[in-house]
Structure 1
Amino acid sequence: MKKQSYVSLGSLVLLLILFIALNMISGNLLKGFRLDLTENRLFTLSEGTVNILQDLEEPVTLYFYFSQDASREIPAVRAYAKRVNELLDEFVDRSSGLLSIKRIDPKPFSEEEDQAAAFGLQAAPINTAGDTLYFGIAGSNSLDDVQVMPFLQPSKEKFLEYDLAKMVSSLGQPERKVLGILSTLRMSGGYDPAAGMTEPWVVYQQLEQLFELRTVDASAGEVPPEVDVLMLVHPRDLAQDMLYAIEQFVLRGGGLVAFVDPFAESDRGDPNDPMAQMQMGSSSSLGSLLDAWGIDYDPSRVVGDLQFGIGNGAQRHIGILSVPADGMNDENIVSADLEVVNFSSAGWLKPDENAQTTFEVLVESSENAAPMDASRLRFLANPNDLLDGFKPSGERYPLAVRVTGPARASMPAPVEAAVEHRDASVEAGINVLLMADSDLLTDRMWVQVQPLFGATAFADNGNLAINAVDNMLGNRDLISIRTRATSARPFDRVEEIRVAAERSFRQTEERLQLELEETERRLTELQAAKGEGDLTVISDEQQEEIQRFMDRRLEIRRELRQVQHDLRRDIDRLDTRIKVVNIVLVPALVMVMALAYAMRRRRRQRQPQSMEAEA
């Protein structure tokens, strides 16, 4: 018996040693190996992110500033900080040694806090005592370029991977492509005689972070030779020499992203002109260039849409469209994965019957749409007026398209041409992205700007514009990075119970209010019927009415309490089931499996003994 005890003890010691040894060996041999079993692949980087990390040309250092002490009473922020740390570790593991992370806790009045402020990170106040929280990332490379994410908001977790990959990409590949912007609108901000100093549009700021921007003067008559992609925003009243330069740029293989508009609401006209109100909502086009590329476009008409128009019922505005994923081409990398894009007084584009080019729709209206005269929007006071005489045509109207393929010049060479004239496109053909709205780029259509937390997007307008430019430059990695699912896993069933109970509670509450109003009306009528001389006398009928109301009010209050009790009861029942499964059922299942294994093993051990006894 003692011998068996020593053997058992020795076996346990050997198992313990073997367990420790296996952990040490696997820690070295399987370093970097991860198995992601989460439903939304939370711990797996997108292929585009991996490509960016492996193609780094410069060492990049990211500084993660997080206030540990200030965040102790904010569990949601600490949980998100943990997710950020995990994602940063994953970035480092895939970067082949060119990416490093420095984690810094900026204590109050410390050098680290001064460094965070110097980077431009934002300190968020967390209480009335003046305590602040730093939660941001700064990045730099060997050329002293700096990129900053001032404050990481938990509500933007699904964009975290993209934002980090964009920062690393811009720092790790410092030679940025040149984007030329020709705009008749004040995208870059500056002094506005009507509004004073204005900030650049958010989309302009994002483009500035990703690309080297060049302002193209509409009166220059040429596209600067260093421009890789040209963006036109509301190209209104362009001279012939500028149109010629744009066409030649496209025929030579240059990428073009153009935002034309039949009614540009952001074009306020000349503030020094007393008739500026009449100039608001000007139209823009590219004239003969669109004809040469096989595109039909009417700069005097806009698209109205009953289905995609914003608002509900009498408040619906069919001229402002909120296009969901159903209206986007999920086969094109520019528009795939976008959830919603907002348009305002947008036109539409369609292929000419004799077009030699290829026409691909990126974003389109619903079938409950129809054209309207743009003039109806100029002095529109009530959006309901647009519904007068509006009849959907049953067609879908393309709002954003891609045009590729062979094309010929529509304009002859000027007498003194600065560059060699091309009569036709290069062998690869033209590559043009056209959108029939410029207002979609304005902040009001897709982003909310807050002084502390910066810009919070409620639509994908900015992503659409940046995807378009990225695609023209061939930068497919950034576009392909999927929107990362959030780590928060809400209790959907609990939420459904809560919403259903709240709906019942509201209905009961509304019934109480209606009965209250009816009783008060009835009491007023009874009091008025008594005459002025008897205003202070309460009749038997009034007393009965008051008593009936009081009894009914108590009854309805009991019903309200019952609804709340039922709400809590259903949630508690579900909570109990989950606890039973986690605390009892799962361990019981493991125990049953262990007993089954033990019985099977004992049966195998007995078989040789029985065979020996029989022999």
Structure 2
Amino acid sequence: MRYPLRTGMTLSVILLLFLAFNLVWAVKLPDLRQDFSQQKTNTLSPEVVHLLTTLESPLDFYYFNSSLPAQKSSILKHYAKRVEEKLRAFEHAANGRINLHIIDPAPFSEDAYKAGLYGLRDQPGFFGLIGTREGQAAQRIQSFDPENEPLLEYEISHLITQLQHPEPAVIGLLSGLPAEAPIEPLVLELHRHFDLLELEPTADHVPSRIKTLMLINPRELPEKTLYAVDQFVLNGGKLLMFIDPLGKGDSKATASATRLDGLLAGWGVSMPSNKVLVDRTYAPSEHQPATFTLPRQAMNTHDVSTWKLDTVTVSNSGALFSLDKSRATFTPLLRSSRQSLLLDSGAVDSAFPTRGERHVIAARLEGPAYSAFADGFGGQPSGLQKATQIHVVVVADTDMLSEPPSGSAQNANKLFVVNALDNLAAPQALANIRPRAVAGHSLNLLEKRREAAERAYQDQAADLEQRLAQTEKEWQRLNPEGTTLGTEAVDTNTQLQALNKERLRLPMELHALKNVLYAPVQRLERNIQLLVIVPLPALLGLIAWGLFQWRRRRCPVPPSAFY
């Protein structure tokens, strides 16, 4: 009888001591944190911490996260928790300059009304952030997206920067396109976001108040203007450049094209002229192989230029190549599929490749660079000859700036341009913040196996897919759809039967080929899942068994207990 009583009293004393410690002493302990993640993703980057030290006045954050919607997926729920932890880290690092308010708005409540009033998206449920600063307009993140998790720190830091510096950035626009080029919708959009200054095509210098320049079709600009661009970049100016791979071919354009090639070579990149990219995978049809829409997987999702983008449409684009001797960092932003080829402009209409390789359509260049005008220009002494760090984004296309038939495609292309300019024109404290690798993503080995399986499938399936497309085309020709009244006679001639067998056999072969090539990847995935799932329960079971054995030896049951 004494043994259970003594045990109960001991547990009661331990419980009282635990409660007393938490109520009295735990709040006085220092806030110690340790990040054990491999990429330190649970700790704010030094660049973010530096940004927070520059805060001039207090900010209020209102984080809206609805917990009621049943349709909210588990992925969104887990990501919402990570966003909350990241916001708390911002609040902690800001040393009182950020006041975080966590709000779970109930349906039809005042909080829900406030979230809707500030433009947060209620689908499914509110999941966004409102930032306010006294005397300034509020800023918002309409909705957090798990796909943008590598950019989460940048996204929150961008909101902070907008609150601290609400004035629009000054952007210069220098265009070599003809006056009738349909880029007016894009120019109007740029005026909405920036303080846009349009320069003359014959400008011989870039005004000092312009720190970021957008350059379109430099092949048609005079050499003196290209010299001004060269000096602007080497002097620390940031550049977004769109190049048309197709030139006019007259002597003036040839001289400018030669200078442009030298300009690109000084930055560590090359772009073949009069070569157009065709893409079988992303083109809408074989009649328009040079006009295609790049999906999300064709973008660098860890770069700010593709922030909140799902598609980008290009037409008659070229390709960019990094020079072997370049010391600058060449980061691809937009890339074609593996079924793409770079062809002479005259051979585009008849080409629809079944094989090829990925080509870079847009890239970011950062690092050392050299001038293309070693001897100066126009009899003037040579200017800057090199720079230790340039910031340039090059896009091998100009048609993407024009108004396409699809309005949604135009909006996506506008967003790409605005994203790139906004990032280039950002204050240095914000521009220094880079995307963070996300813990929990697939292992590198698994990603490499998937890519290898995809390449093998595309190479081996290309012939089968081409035969299937030809079979479907022939089937449609011999069995066209028409308007019928009531019942319809069935044509069962021998040729149609043979085509129908091919239509059934070829998809089965493609499916079997995919199963064979992806089987090793699926086995590896299952093994990784077993390694992750099985050891933890087994370890807990062993610990429980060990504790049971230890307790049994420490407190053996007396013989009298059995009587």
Q: Which amino acid aligns with 2:120?
A: L
* Unmatched runs of 5 consecutive residues or more in structure 1: 127-132, 187-191, 265-281, 416-420, 487-522, 527-576, 607-615
Contact 1:120 1:150 in 2 (8 A): yes
Q: What is residue 372 of structure 1 aligned with on the other side?
A: 343
State yes or no: 1:294 paired with 2:285: no
How do 1:50-449 and structure 2 match up within 5 A?
50-65=49-64, 71-76=68-73, 81-104=80-103, 115-122=114-121, 134-152=126-144, 159-172=151-164, 178-183=170-175, 198=185, 208=193, 213-219=195-201, 221=203, 222-235=205-218, 237-262=220-245, 287-291=258-262, 294=265, 297-304=271-278, 309-310=281-282, 317=289, 320=292, 344-349=315-320, 358=327, 360-363=329-332, 370-376=341-347, 380=349, 385-387=350-352, 400=363, 402=365, 404-407=368-371, 409=373, 423-425=382-384, 428=387, 431=390, 433=392, 435-438=394-397
Deviation at 1:594, TM superposition (A): 1.9
Mapped partners of 1:26, 1:339: distance in 2: 51
Mapped partners of 1:11, 1:30: distance in 2: 26
Q: In the TM superposition, what whole-angstrom CA distance separates every residue of 1:384-414 from its partner, at most 9, and x where no partner exists?
A: x3138x996x897786363733325378666
Q: In the TM superposition, what whole-angstrom CA distance separates every residue of 1:447-472 from its partner, at most 9, and x where no partner exists?
A: 9969xxxx899xx9679836972799
Q: In the TM superposition, what whole-angstrom CA distance separates every residue of 1:414-438 from its partner, at most 9, and x where no partner exists?
A: 69xxxxx661316635736352423
Mapped partners of 2:554, 2:256: distance in 1: 82
Q: Which amino acid aligns with 1:216?
A: E
Q: In the TM superposition, what whole-angstrom CA distance separates every residue of 1:20-65 from its partner, at most 9, and x where no partner exists?
A: 2444467335564456678998755455444433443442222234
Q: 1:285 to 1:239 in 2, by over 3 A?
A: closer
Contact 1:60 1:98 in 2 (8 A): yes
Contact 1:140 1:171 in 2 (8 A): yes
Q: What is residue 478 of structure 1 aligned with on the other side?
A: 433
State yes or no: 1:469 paired with 2:424: yes
Deviation at 1:144, TM superposition (A): 0.5
Q: Which amino acid aligns with 1:59?
A: P
Q: What is residue 549 of structure 2 aligned with on the other side?
A: 596
Q: What is residue 276 of structure 1 aligned with on the other side?
A: none
- Secondary structure of the residue aligned to 2:351 is helix
Contact 2:63 2:130 in 1 (8 A): yes
Q: 1:443 to 1:246 in 2, by over 3 A?
A: closer
Q: 1:200 to 1:63 in 2, by over 3 A?
A: farther
Q: 1:401 to 1:283 in 2, by over 3 A?
A: farther
Q: Which amino acid aligns with 1:424?
A: G
Q: What is residue 568 of structure 1 aligned with on the other side?
A: none
Mapped partners of 1:8, 1:591: distance in 2: 20
Q: 1:149 to 1:429 in 2, by over 3 A?
A: closer
Q: 1:8 to 1:148 in 2, by over 3 A?
A: closer
Contact 2:181 2:402 in 1 (8 A): no
Q: 1:448 to 1:375 in 2, by over 3 A?
A: same
Contact 1:234 1:284 in 2 (8 A): no
- Secondary structure of the residue aligned to 1:294 is helix
Q: In the TM superposition, what whole-angstrom CA distance separates every residue of 1:543-565 from its partner, at most 9, and x where no partner exists?
A: xxxxxxxxxxxxxxxxxxxxxxx
Q: In the TM superposition, what whole-angstrom CA distance separates every residue of 1:158-188 from its partner, at most 9, and x where no partner exists?
A: 65444223212333466776443435689xx
Q: 1:434 to 1:285 in 2, by over 3 A?
A: farther
Q: 1:226 to 1:312 in 2, by over 3 A?
A: closer
Q: In the TM superposition, what whole-angstrom CA distance separates every residue of 1:102-143 from its partner, at most 9, and x where no partner exists?
A: 34566788765665455343455x8xxxxxx54432212345
Mapped partners of 1:79, 1:225: distance in 2: 47
Contact 1:368 1:395 in 2 (8 A): yes
Contact 1:359 1:404 in 2 (8 A): yes
Deviation at 1:93, TM superposition (A): 2.0
Q: 1:414 to 1:430 in 2, by over 3 A?
A: farther
Q: What is residue 18 of structure 1 aligned with on the other side?
A: 17
Contact 1:346 1:437 in 2 (8 A): yes
Mapped partners of 1:405, 1:584: distance in 2: 56
Contact 1:248 1:422 in 2 (8 A): no
Q: 1:293 to 1:201 in 2, by over 3 A?
A: same
- Secondary structure of the residue aligned to 2:63 is strand
Q: Which amino acid aligns with 1:372?
A: L
Range with bigger deviation, 172-181 or 460-469: 460-469
Mapped partners of 2:536, 2:342: distance in 1: 62
- Secondary structure of the residue aligned to 2:220 is coil
Mapped partners of 2:352, 2:322: distance in 1: 28
Contact 1:229 1:473 in 2 (8 A): no
- Secondary structure of the residue aligned to 2:342 is strand
Mapped partners of 1:400, 1:284: distance in 2: 25
Contact 1:250 1:256 in 2 (8 A): yes
Mapped partners of 2:227, 2:23: distance in 1: 69
Q: What is residue 504 of structure 1 aligned with on the other side?
A: none
Mapped partners of 1:391, 1:585: distance in 2: 49
Range with bigger deviation, 160-169 or 41-50: 41-50
Task: Kindly tell me the number of residue pairs found equivalent between the two proteins.
Answer: 455
Q: What is residue 514 of structure 2 aligned with on the other side?
A: none
- Secondary structure of the residue aligned to 1:137 is strand
Structure of higher CA gyration radius: 1
- Secondary structure of the residue aligned to 1:595 is helix
Q: 1:302 to 1:585 in 2, by over 3 A?
A: closer
- Secondary structure of the residue aligned to 2:87 is helix
Contact 1:252 1:426 in 2 (8 A): no
Deviation at 1:100, TM superposition (A): 1.4
Mapped partners of 2:431, 2:418: distance in 1: 13
Mapped partners of 1:366, 1:55: distance in 2: 43
Contact 1:305 1:365 in 2 (8 A): yes
Q: Which amino acid aligns with 1:168?
A: I
- Secondary structure of the residue aligned to 1:387 is coil
